[in-house]
Structures are given as C-alpha cells and as structure tokens.
Amino acid sequence: MALPTGLLRQLRAGALPLGVGLLLGFALTVSSGVRAHRDPAAPTLSAADTRLLESVLTDIGTDYVDRVDLHQLLHRGLADTVARLDPYSALLDPSEFAQLKERTSGTYCGIGVEIGAVTGGIEVTRVHQSSPAERAGIRRGDRLYAVNGGAIGGDDTHAVAARLQGPPGSVLTLTLAHGLGADPFELSVTRAPVHIVTVTSSLLEGGVGYVRISYFADATPAELERELNALKRRNGGALAGLVLDLRANPGGVLESGIAVADDFLDTGVIVRSVGRDREANFVARATPGDLLSGRPLAVLIDNGSASAAEIVAQALKDNQRATLIGRKSFGKGSVQTIMPLSDGGALRLTTARWSGPSGASLTGVGLEPDLALAAPTSPAAVSGLSLQAALADSDVAAAVDVLARAPAARLAQAPLP
C-alpha cells in the first residue's frame, strides 16, 4: 500500500466495545495531535471573537437568573456546533473517547457484551466468545435492569457501558432476564480483559471458505490472515473460493480496511482520499500478495455495510476481483480523524472524502451489488446472527452458488490506473 508516512503514523497512533450504533459509517484515523500541514489560509478565531465569547459567558455566569456551570455550558455549545457540521463529526467526552480507543484496539476490561437501547430498557445484542459474560451464561436478547443494585432505567447506553467496565478481577452483580417478560434474576460476573474478535470463519462444503468481518479494528488484518490460514489447513490446501461477509459491517479503522482489500489484490488502486490537510490527500495502491492466489471471491454487502466496508467492497469490485452479492450498501464516503483534546476527550472531525478506484463517490448513493437479493435487512438483526445462523441463511447460499459457477482461478487482474 502506498500510504504517506505521516498518515501511517497517525493511523497507528491508535474507536465503542459496546455496539450501540455510534460507529456506523466511520472510516477512522487517529491524529497524533500535531497538525504540521494546516492550511495557512484557514480561518482562525480573532481577538475580537475571543473577547465576545468571554464577555457572553461572563454575563451568563454573573447575571443569568439561575446559577450556571459555564464549563458544561461551553462544552454543550461546542458539541452542538460540531454536530451541525455533518452527521459524523462530534465532540467526544473522555468516557466516549476511551470507549472509542478500546474498540479500535480490540481489547478492553469488562464482561464482554454489546448492548443496545430498546423500548423499555437495555438489551444484550452480542456476547463475545470466551468472555466472562459467555462463561456466566448471559445470552443475546437478555434484558439488563440493574448493575450492582442500581437500576439503569434512566441511563443511556454510554452510562451503562461505563458501569459494566472496570478493573480486572472486580465483580459485578447484574439483574437481568432472558428476554422481555421473563422473570428477572441476579448474576455475578467477574470482569476480565476481553478481546473483541472481529473475524470469524468456517469451512463450507466443496472447500469453500466463509469469513465474516464484523467491523475493522487494528487487529482485523492479522485476524483475517490467521483465519484464512486455518481454513486452508482444514481444507488440506488452497480454498476453492471464499465468501467474504461484510453485511452489517459499519466500518472502523481506515488503515485496516485498506489492508484487508490489499490482502485479495496484487495490483490496482484501493481508494483515493481528498481533504484540505496535505496528508489527507493520498492514493492507496495494492501490493503483490493475494492471500487467495486468485481463487474466486464473493462479497456479501447490505444496507448496514458502510465506509471502510464499502472501501473494501468497491476496491474488489472495481478491480474485477470479486462479485458483490446482496443489497445496496449504506453510502458513506467520508473519513473522520480523531483529534485528542486537552480535557481527555476528543474531536471526531470529518477531514477527507474518499472515492473508489473508478473515482466514484458512494456518499448518499451506496454501492450496488452485482447480484441483488431480496428486500433490505436490518443491520442489527444481521450483526446479531451467530456464525451458525449466518451460514444457514439464503444470502450465503447465493454466494456459494455464484462461486460454484466461477472460473477455478483468476489468472490476472485488470487493475484500474
């Protein structure tokens, strides 16, 4: 991959382990905090603007009818300002930033569940493999009512996430029920380091591999290579083909998405990025080393496949390396940079727009599959599927059928310039 050195440094400097939907559509980079190539013509806050801001806050602090916390007021004002830029820019408080970093790193200390807000409370949407929650018998679909005796009825998912995490070895007492309407019960769970596995796999009949990527974390490329090697060993040699499942994949770390696309390409453009900062302008190109050695590849996408997932799918499609199967993707063609702030929080700011090898942007449009399947699916429903359930659904069967009719191996790619 031909990425600028500065961008690689930012990407590796190091985005919520509890999947509550806030990662949807992100292609993330993490800034080192040093922005050496700022646009010299970029507007700055004038002395008059600074005085005006200080004057307004002072007047509010001294004369408003009720006592006001000026720090909170300023933070809410800044958060509202950033949110008005676009749907993906946001001001993150220290807790949100910490959760974001944990998701990109793939490791955090807690019990190993993902949660979501549902009517009437909080529901477990996923239980991670080999986690304390799995060992304690917590299931997908369980309703969570209290943590250590404290009800969570009025809490949002961020607050619940913070209460579930803590030092390794500490014990949580949870009040939950196996589904809405079931009798609540108490369960003790001991927190421990949890590794979030983003890549799962299975060997299908006829030597066809199946790999599912739930989102793109720092460790995803290494996990993918490990899973592919395991599939080859189980098959006793090269795979006949591969189904790459990117359904309900909301994106994640930009560098990881690029690396995954590169794993199936020998040559060709992967993605083009354009922004105001010099290091936001780059073209990522594939390097030799197709992990499938040219075997047929089918990629499953749907309306929950976004950003970094769309980068992978479009790169493989435009370079004539894979057949896309499923439904139109989400349609997000921007990149967010995470800029750490002095208060321990961070600014998540849209800093670039990306396009695929053909130059087409997917923003608001989405990526059309080569083979369209039935009606749109719910990303939450797909992301919650167990590996066994995913293998049994009709989308995977359609992809296997496409692979069965594909040439045994592609002898050459036709990369776009």
Task: Say which of 318, 328, 355, 395 is annotated catalytic.
Answer: 318
Query: How far does Cα 284 stand from its chain's mean position?
Result: 20
Estimate the share of the chain in helix, then strand, then coil, as percent rounded to the nearest 5: 30, 25, 45
Other residues' Cβ atoms within 10 Å of the Cβ of residue 196: 22
CA distance 292 to 321: 11
Task: Say which of 131, 256, 307, 334 is annotated catalytic.
Answer: 307
CA distance 122 to 110: 17
DSSP state of 93: P
CA distance 278 to 297: 35
Show the tokens assigned to 183: 């009798």
Query: How far does Cα 243 stand from its chain's mean position?
Result: 20
Query: Is 332 part of the annotated catalytic residue set?
Result: yes
Task: Say which of 332, 334, 383, 395 is annotated catalytic.
Answer: 332
Are the C-beta atoms of 29 and 255 separated by less than 8 Å? yes
Angle between helices 220-235 and 254-262 (to 10 degrees): 30
Query: Is 334 part of the annotated catalytic residue set?
Result: no
Burial 36-73 (b: 16+ CB within 10 A, else e): eeeeeeeeeeeeeeeeeeeeebeeeeeeeeeeeeeeee
Which amino acids are annotated catalytic? Answer: 307, 318, 332
